[in-house]
Amino acid sequence: MASNNKQESRVSRNRNQPPKPPKKHWFRRIILTLVALFVVGVLAGVGLFFYYAQSSPTVTESSLKSENSTKVYDSNGTLIANLGTATREYVKSDNIPTTLKNAVVSIEDKRFYQHKGVDYYRIIGAALGNLKGSSLGMQGGSTLTMQLVKLAAFSTSTSDRNLKVKAQEAWLALNVEKHFSKSQILEFYINKVYMGNGIYGMGTAAEYYYGKSLSKLNLSQLALLAGMPQSPTYYNPYTYPSYATSRRNTVLQAMYDNKVITKQQEKDAEAVSVKTGLAKSHSNVVTKANKNKVIDSYLTEVLADIKSKGYDPYKDGLKVYTNLNMNAQKRLYAIANTSKYVTYPDNNFQLGVSVVDSYTGKISAMIGGRKHTNVTYGLNRAVQTDRSNASTMKPILDYGPAIEYLNWPTYKTVSDTKYNYPGTSTAVNDFDNNTLGNMTMRSALIQSRNIPAVKTLEAVGRTRAKTFANNLGMNLKKVYYANAIGANVSSLQVAGAYAAFANGGTYHKPYYINKIVTQDNQTTTYSSAGKRVMKKSTAYMITDMLKDVISSASGTGTTARISGVYQAGKTGTDGFPASDNKPSNADRDSWMAGYTKNYSVSVWTGYDTKAQYITPTTSKIAQDIYREMMSYLQQYSPNSDWVRPSTVGTVKKNNITELYVVGHLFSSSEASSGTSSSSSTTTNNGTTTTSSSSSSQTASSSSSASSSSAAASSSSSASSSSEAASSSSEASSSSAASSSSSQAASSSSAAESNNNQQGQ
């Protein structure tokens, strides 16, 4: 019994023990998890692919065959330009040499005849390349069919380099392969690619680069054409023969690797110079008629603007809608290039004109020169910044800031007495080398006297003046006292700045493009967000004074007068440095900038070289151009005067209605303070003003010799203004300003520091 009990006890114990856990297979679980994740990933990828595919753009035979040039439209949606410069020579498949087909396939997609639009092996290879840090990128997986689809439906902008677009390219490529043969697809591609210099298609490129049809080109030439689409600019055999040679040889090697040429053929073709057989002219290529000189300057800037926005205007097939008023542009071109409106002294006389919408900043018209040659996208003088804008700078850098920061009334007394640029012994002069004593700010601006302008800049302080001017788009790196009467800025910058005065103090950066539509119908619109840069009182008071520049008998802009039109404006002329040994009445530049409530127009005139110069007679041409252009514009826009804001008050001074900032009505003593170094009584334009001693001539210098040297460079063109309009003219002090740098360098830097502090 005892024995049985022991046995039962062992059995019982064994039964009561928990079963041993099975052996854990961790490795198998990891594998299964990875497989599951892979399957889920594949399913997600497939789902995402079809999700993207549903929103794919439409690709038609027409879009596959058409050239990929960008089309430009005016503000009314009328086509004005096609950026392809030549009529395309479309070559049918039967007329495309087999050698060229082999070259294209070898370099772009060697499995072209095996896949159905998407090369899965190539995609995997590109993906592995990306993981290894290869430069292939996502484009490495693109087949020739996918590249064709991209040309037909997408752009090359950064926004179109993403997974969604690649998925859509693949989907569309699969569909293209279902509807078109390989021969057709290759034909579409060869005729569609961009080949540089505004040329589309390899057939047109053969005529352009070699003056022959494709069928007459040799292996070396065909290999080069096959390789050019990757980078038409750098593989241009005319301009970059070494790059072109390298690319051609790469194509030849690919052809050998693809077994479509022999090693001997490869070597023989490589031995041929890429310059062999290049055409010396391109007269055999028919240029498109819509390459119109009328819009050349405007189109030049539109082209640059498209590129700055990340698009390729020659590859992306865009629709670009601009702000161009084509009727105004035609009139501006006629004004510049015929004698119907303005009489010019000779064909070398040049101009640069910008027309800006006062309320929006839209650039309505522009011309960068007259009597153009056949050069396309030539020099646009309307946007050049290498000439001084002379006295058109005075409202921007001098009197505008004085009203804005110092609350000066229009009857503020300013002194036209002997005066040196602060910190120097160099005198500020006017054309007549004369001084007129004390006068109101209004009178100084109307007559465009230089000394009061420089003194006003000194009173404001260059730091604040620079801020005010740069808020108006001047982009000044540093302000020198010579800039009070001119700085190197463009007519477009001046037009944009004056537009802010016209609309009551809001600056809109001028812009060309209204919207861009890509091939997949993605639309991006553009506008210039306005920024208030001055008080309404400042804009109105400047405008009120500038109205008198044109309407007053003593104003410098009387030639620009238009009967019945409410407008304001400013003239400017810039002389030569004394070292140029020009006649005393010779000027280098002449300006007229003016505006209505609707448009701002800025005109520069002059010569490209110093060999010729403007005379007192031809200096009026800028005003003639302005008057004719503004007269045309005002026919199609409302003509109304500016309404005085509640922040501006009026007061009679010597029978003249003067303006002041409400809350800052200057007394006679306040108005005349800070004008001259000694008391004097002067009568000007019927206004008798008594001035008191002041510190307006406190010396101030550049903080260093290097600053002074820069000032001299600016001064040589900016500070010499002269103009004889009716009984008054603008000053010319270039020779004096040119010599100021060495003297300024020795002046106390503390004086300039003190001046800046006083201007705060």
| Tally of CB atoms within 10 A around 563 | 5
> What pLDDT digit, counting tens, does each position of 396-451 carry?
999 999 999 999 999 999 999 999 999 999 999 987 889 999 999 999 999 999 99
Locate 135 and state its tokens: 């430069």
Which pLDDT does position 375 carry in this prediction?
65
Number of domains in the chain: 1
93 CA to centre of own chain: 42
Question: Does the residue 657 lie in any domain?
Answer: no
Q: Which residue has the tokens 């002449």?
A: 590
CB 546 within 8 A of CB 642: no
User: Is 108 known to be catalytic?
Assistant: yes
Question: Does the residue 217 lie in any domain?
Answer: yes
Question: Does the residue 702 lie in any domain?
Answer: no
Question: Does the residue 229 lie in any domain?
Answer: yes
Question: Does the residue 102 lie in any domain?
Answer: yes
Q: Write the CA distances from 138 to 127, 162, 312, integer angstroms.
A: 7, 8, 19
Q: What are phi and psi of 489, to 5 degrees?
A: -135, 170
Alpha helices in 407-520 (DSSP H): 441-447, 450-460, 462-471, 491-502
Which pLDDT does position 502 carry in this prediction?
98
Average pLDDT, the chain: 83
User: How much of the chain is in helix, strand and coil states, percent to nearest 5?
Assistant: 45, 15, 40
Which pLDDT does position 479 carry in this prediction?
97
> What pLDDT digit, counting tens, does each position of 138-196 carry?
445 789 999 999 888 887 666 666 677 777 788 888 889 999 999 999 999 999 999 99
CA 82 – CA 78 distance, rounded (Å): 12
Q: Is 597 exposed, middle or buried (0-12, 13-18, 19+ CB in 10 A)?
A: buried
The whole domain housing 144 covers 85-271
Options 108, 207, 301, 458, the catalytic residue: 108
For residue 725, which of 431, 433, 297 has the smallest C-alpha distance? 431
CB 324 within 8 A of CB 203: no
Side-chain half-sphere of 533: how many Cα atoms within 13 Å? 29
Intervals of the chain under pLDDT 70: 1-24, 40-56, 123-140, 156-162, 287-291, 373-375, 675-760
CA 270 – CA 675 distance, rounded (Å): 79
Question: Does the residue 90 lie in any domain?
Answer: yes
Question: Does the residue 638 lie in any domain?
Answer: no
| Tally of CB atoms within 10 A around 103 | 27
Question: Does the residue 517 lie in any domain?
Answer: no
User: Is 177 known to be catalytic?
Assistant: no
- CATH number of the domain to which 118 belongs: 1.10.3810.10
Alpha helices in 132-180 (DSSP H): 144-153, 163-179
Options 106, 155, 391, 590, the catalytic residue: 391
